[in-house]
Amino acid sequence: MRLIVTFFLASLAIAPIGPARAGPDESNSAAPDRYTLRETANGWLRLDRETGLVSLCRAKYGGWICAPVPDATQVYEAEAKALQEERDRLKARVSQLEARLEAAGGNAPGDTEANDPNETAPPKAAPAQPLITPEEERELDRFMAFSERAMRRFFGMVKMLRREFDDRI
């Protein structure tokens, strides 16, 4: 069985995967040392020595499936590019909002008039009613006491089981 798997993997290494390319210098026979295979815990890594593409090959659905392994540098550069685009988009949006604020007669954040320390703050709203009633607070206290007792019992049981396990070893 191992011989059959080895033969199959060797044939995978020689046969190109993907659409056939047309061209004058391309032929259906690949160089015998074009691919390198390495066994891993998850399958086989296949390195294409001509292109540098690394693929992870796995036995699935009665055949072999090879998927390209993402290049860490490409992933990093793509993320950096996406963040740069988002930063540029946010800068443009801030500029739009500052322009709208100035057009409406307000002060832009960089203006010194808006940061005048002598300017009075807007009046504060009246204090809101409490979020919970006294009865709800009592029920919450009962629940918290119950939760505390349950957690203490649980951790006590864990401690006891740990001691029993350590004694067995």
- Residue 123 — pLDDT band, cuts 50, 70, 90? low
Q: What is the mean pLDDT of residues 57-83?
A: 86
Pick the more confident residue, 119 or 98.
98
- Return the pLDDT at 156: 93
How many whole angstroms separate alpha carbon 27 and alpha carbon 154? 69
CA-angle at 78, arms to 76 and 79, nearest 5°: 65
How many whole angstroms separate alpha carbon 149 and alpha carbon 146? 5
How many whole angstroms separate alpha carbon 105 and alpha carbon 111? 12
- Residue 150 — pLDDT band, cuts 50, 70, 90? very high
Pick the more confident residue, 70 or 122.
70
Q: What is the mean pLDDT of residues 11-33?
A: 50
Mind giving me the DSSP string for 22-41? P-TT--SSPPTTSEEEEEET
Please, what is the average pLDDT of the chain?
A: 78
Contact call for residues 53 and 35 (beta carbons, < 8 A) = no
Sheet containing 35-40: order of strands: 35-40, 43-48, 54-60, 63-68
- Residue 8 — pLDDT band, cuts 50, 70, 90? very low
Q: What are the angstrom distances between the C-alpha of 168 and each of 51, 158, 163, 164?
A: 57, 15, 9, 6
How many whole angstroms separate alpha carbon 118 and alpha carbon 88? 35
Alpha helices in 61-133 (DSSP H): 72-103
Give me 19's structure tokens: 């659409």
Coil, helix or strand at residue 20 = coil
pLDDT above 90: percentage of residues in the chain: 31
Contact call for residues 66 and 14 (beta carbons, < 8 A) = no
Q: Which of 17-26, 34-43, 103-112 has the lowest mean pLDDT?
A: 17-26
